Structure 1
Amino acid sequence: MDVVGDVRLPPRPQVPTRPVQLPPRPPRLLGRDEMVAELRARLAGGRSQPCVVAVHGLGGVGKTSLALEYAHRHLHDYQLVWQLPAADPAVLSAAFARLAALLGLRDTVDAADPVDQVHAALAARTEPWLLIFDNAPEADALRPFLPPAGPGHVLITSRSGSWPREQGLELPVLEPEPAVALVLARSGQDDAAAASAVVAELGALPLALEQAAAFMSETGLALGEYLDLLHDQRAGLLAQGQAWGYEERITTTWQLAFRNLAGTSRQAIALLRVLACYSHEAIPYHLLLSPLEGRTARELFAEDVQRQRAYGRLPGSRVRLVREFRPWMSAVAVLQELPRDPLAINTAVGALRGHSLIGQPVEGTVPVHRLVQAVTLDQLAPHEQQRWRDAAAVLLESVLPDDPTRVAAWPRYALLLPHILAALTPISPGMDKTAQYLGASGDYRTARSLFREICEALTAKLGAEHPSTLTARHELARWTGELGDAVAARRQYTELLPIRMGQLGAEHPITLTIRHELARWTGELGDAVAARRQYAELLPVSERVQGPEHPNTLTIRHELARWTGELGDAAAARDMYADLVPIRERVQGPDHPDTLAARANLAQWTGQAGDPAAARDQYAALLPIRERVQGPEHPSALINRHELARWTGELGEAEAARDQYAALLVVRERVSGPEHPDTLTIRHELARWTGELGDAAAARDQYAALLPLRERVQGRDHPDTLMARANLAQWTGQAGDPAAARDHYAALLPIRERVLGPQHPATLITRHELARWTGELGDAVSARDQYAELLIRREHASGADHPDTLTTRHNLAYWTGQAGDAAAARDQCAALLRVRERVLGPEHPDTLITWHNLAYWTGAAGDGVAAREQYAGLLAVRERVLGPEHPDTLTIRHELARWIGELGDPVAARDAYAALLPLRERVSGPEHPDTLTARANLAYWTGQAGDPVAARDQYAALLPIRERVLGPGHPATRTTRGQLAYWRERA
């Protein structure tokens, strides 16, 4: 059955009652009272949907100041007020991540998009909130980030005027009077005429006025003197052909500021230049300058050269090396100009703050307006700009952790991500490491995108078959596959293989690694036969070239065992892993990750081979070792917890499994983020075990909530997304809507055929379930015919003895019986039982299920005595193998009681059900469907035993429970209603 699982979410952590993130209130915002009032009027809308106002206008006109003034004036009207930087989608997503963490939705910075979580939290609030999206590029870019619901207000600032008429509010420049007042107040002077002239020259643009006044205040320059300089500088700019506009006037002001700083703080200028090379928001300047402390610039440069060499980015010839690195080596000089110690850094920051060239430092970070950055670099000649860009890249590369796959390194990568994207080129080692971080942390899509850029850049610089390019192509193929496109991954590895073979030879370790990956993705595409064959062919080559106990050789043995199991021979896979574990322990050590992985797979295939108790125990023994060696929150330790929960459930302890998944979900969300693929898998499993506990409707709803997350995070055609769709269909049917289940599977089948292929196991499972729900809708003949067709496909794809083929035979027998031929169903089950005993073993769970069905159809074919004897024999085996209170054991007791009654002893049947009911209530819960079925049968046989009054009362008590738990239209509820009417007539 195509089922995995999902969950009820645990309570969120306590959230601050009044979250606020706002820069300081603008000091004496002049001339904007009417606009603040207009904002208030525009935002005073209804509470069902957020009211949106987009303040737009010329850059520097004071849009952000207006928004802040409004927010501070009306701060107490909202229960949440938060400003978000909206110019760059990546930075905006990171800001949503911080807000999500504050709201208790996520506890670590992660590459996954938190926008939906914040939207949901805002929609759930009952008190007003205010979001400010600052410096948004335009309406289409911002639309995905706007909250769709909730009693809140959204205030946008943007230069773009392309906003809907009902949302847009254009902000003009200041009127002359408040503009003059602003200049006089900020500069501390009283020459109104000169101030009026400055306002006219600057076009009453608030940012230009503020900057000019700050410069005059810092330098003591008089208004008239400033005006003279302004005239001189403007003439020069106009001579270059620039029109009168925003950048022209601001550029003039900054040129004067640069000239003043040149005589007072050259380190401040140097700091500004290097900050201009990064993203404009929250630049971690203390972190980025930290490599300079205790090391010379030449030492830093030498380390960077080593990084370039390690990543194969250096040209081969010495002449080319010198030619390419001569301009880069000039970055050494600019690195020497930067402040190094904390006192010098803070002094330089203070000087820049004094000229309003940077924002307010916060916890070692500082924002720099993007126009300040642009003008700062524009003051330099092109070759000088490149020197500073190279210096910024060296500093950034120096603070990137070496191993981007370590969970502990992820917060720093998340902090630096916007600056990496702004400052590093695709061929830099840091960009390669960043792509690895994104993939390891679950953002497969961006990892693949970055590696595609890296491949293109390396191809252009070094050639398509340069070793560095081929390594990048290898990674591109890897993350293409992890994103769910196994077809493309296999194709890309297929293209790489002959190139590597031609360069390195057929038996070079890199070539063998590509063969390994090619085999893996062949298997992931559903061709387990080819995957096993490829690994079987690869193994002797690796043994000869690298040695029989080389770690790479052992990895091939590991994969050969896996695909042997995937082909249906779980016992052989188990035995192969049992042989591999002691070799891993001896060669690599008992605590090596590869050894622990082998132990985990041994547990997995032990369970698949029919021993869930041993699988659970092996995972339970492995967990403390992984927690000790790798850490309790390492991905491998969390996967171990996942499997421990799974096999606990397979043992019949569905409630314990659900609780374990619920606890694990909290950890996954904190460590990996709420939208990491592994986190979504835990939600999947939590939903499954919620359903297995009897709440099919809740399982259905949880899959319905999970599906859009899978689609957005992993893509609509990713195998995990299709699995979520399959489970939504499954639990929709289990919740009493077989028609919808059939339709879901019918819609899913062509997608799986297109994405995975018509013979992929998941595609065949979809056909299996489509046939099942066709039968559940009452068309047993069609179900039988579909299973007959599917059996041919199964035998062709997997072989006659594959467990999935045997499952299809099992279901064919069932629907043959349901179509009216109980004798044929009995005979098919008898034939299947012998095969399952031979292939799986006489006590494998699937073998015991076939025995169960044989007994059922024996009785249905008219031989009640034989049915009762078969159930009695099966009960003893079930009790010994699974335990007397396993749900499957209780099901056999249920059937045995039925046939006791059918054979003419209703009193004994009644007593057997009376004994069974408290067991069902204790094991599965009083409202589990199986418990309610036991109550229904107890009522039935009570009536058959001659007590219609008690039967009536028992059905009367059962009916409202089934109506509440299953729904009034569920088939079981309708049956209960009919039985109640029947026994009322006879009471």
Structure 2
Amino acid sequence: MTDHAQQFFISYAGTDRAWAEWVGWHLEQAGHRVILDVWDWRTGDNLVQRMDEALEGADAVIALFSTSYFEDERWTTEEWTAAVAHRDRLIPLALEPLTTSDLPRVLAAKLRKNLHGLEEAAALTALREAVNSGSRPSAPPPFPGGIPSAGALPTAGTVPTAGTVPAAAPVPAVGRSKPRLPGSVEEPRVWGVRRRNPDFAGRETEIARLRESLLTESKAVPQALHGMGGVGKTQLALEYAHRFADQYDVVWWIDAEQPDEIPVHYTELANRLGLAKPDAGAEANARALLSHLGTRERWLLILDNAEDPAQVEPWLAQGPGHTLITSRNPNWAGTARATPLNVFTRTDSLTYLQGRAGSMDDEQADTLAADLGDLPLALAQAAGVIANGGVSLDLYHQLLVTNTTQILAKGDAPGYPAPVAATVTIAVDRLTDRHPDSVALLRLVALLGPEPIRNTWLESVRPRLTTIPGAPDDPMWLHEALSPLSRYGLARTEPQSFQIHRLTQAVLRDQFLPDQSAAMRKDATALLSAANPGDPQSPDNWPGWAALTPHLTAHHLAPTEQPELRPTLLDAAHYLIRSGQTRTARDLTATAHTAWATTMGEDHPDTLTSAQFLGHATADLGEHAEARRIIEDTLTRRRRTLGDDHP
């Protein structure tokens, strides 16, 4: 293969995209054909079909080995196993130190080239040797006693032979600038970013997607990461800046919460670049900087905590560099490409908790993550409290129930400006004067579950809600109330529903005044009662019941204590049994039966109906002796209260 061009398919983990592009670029400069998903595949393509075509057409598969490459559930597994199964040539390039035990057994014996820890010239030499391995030199080897530099430039006037990787590529491929060697010693010429968070964990998928979004735009389209407070937007942006620092000449961080201060921050950068004029003023210097960046590449501006797109938009740089925005506000249409950032995946939560508080096993970490709703800020606080001693895991769980706001105000969370309790309280306080209807809605739904809440439930029951200010017949009231909650990161809105994080709800419930609590519970009860989807035996109504049932089981509302909810609770139990959710049905009916037997007596009709459903659910779980006892007792009581002839 040393005397003709080859076609290579590059197999890599998403976190190693920079390496994949570096390898691909230099192979194409050598005259080879490269198939790289981010270069050649389009959104909407069939991934499996594209991968099969690439593997079938490739003369060799270049596999970029790293810890991420061998993680479970990555497509890389299918790629390298297909190459091995078809006996295709596999060229392993190691991006980080790996031992035989780090590799699948079938790959452990394969020779691989190391690219990690090398200067770019040496890395190019290693790439050339990997691609051209087994070939004999076309010119005399250099004298071993000399001191030639690895990867030296070809002699002036010479052209690399097709099929070999040049030590230094001459010109960029059309439409694609030459990527830098990832992990090289090159650092940004101008750097203005806070120190890296050593406790950062997870978010590999999000970082890979962010990098891809920044690189695939043909022009400088700003990327806006948005999400609720404490979800880790700033931390992700900070990690991105440090991880890809060697791909930029200029990296500058701007605290953008006060838009009027953006020109001042830009002037600081203009001064570092030698563009600022002392007598020109901040705005003029900022404009000079933006004009300069419009003609340059390899710059990254991070506008952290920007809230008002209209005020930020005039200060967004144009040109081939990158702008990253973090915000609670999701409304960036027409200004930036908005990307929602949600809470951690459970896997990321466990990785983080066990990394900071290593004494937790998987079950303990999973339970804590569930209690905290996988919110990164809350996980950081909990890990800080538990790791520092004095509070056991069991006590922390207890305090989350009994002293929610108090415990959510504790714990060291490096990189976050405020704990969960303060983050929620500050946002609510900002809304209280200007949007009282939004705050009232937020407090109302704090009594429901953390699952999505359908807009239609609130629209239909609005005239009965006494705690929501404003005209009850205003058809736009819900839109007007939800928009500020979304903008401040207190609600996650969808076209037909919205959702409040469980910890936001918990902080709000702790702040209820005694006179508010009763009215809120009355409104929440009216809402859930009116949301009854209809006949629980009809599968057509099951999607409605599936959405409503989690809110009926939210213990904060104490639904079994609300008389108006008894018919809806019984219908929900019937739905759960008919739809096969037996364990949930038993839990609901057992709770209802205990509560109603105590308050209304064991012979009350609703108590007996709950006992009937409890018997059915217990039987479905295979506990036939207990089910028979419950059903026989229920039948006896019905005969006594209704008579033997009652239908």
Q: Report the TM-score range of the alignment, normalised by the length of the smaller protein.
A: 0.3 to 0.5
Q: Structure 1 or 2: larger helix share?
A: 1
More strand by share: 2
Larger radius of gyration: 1
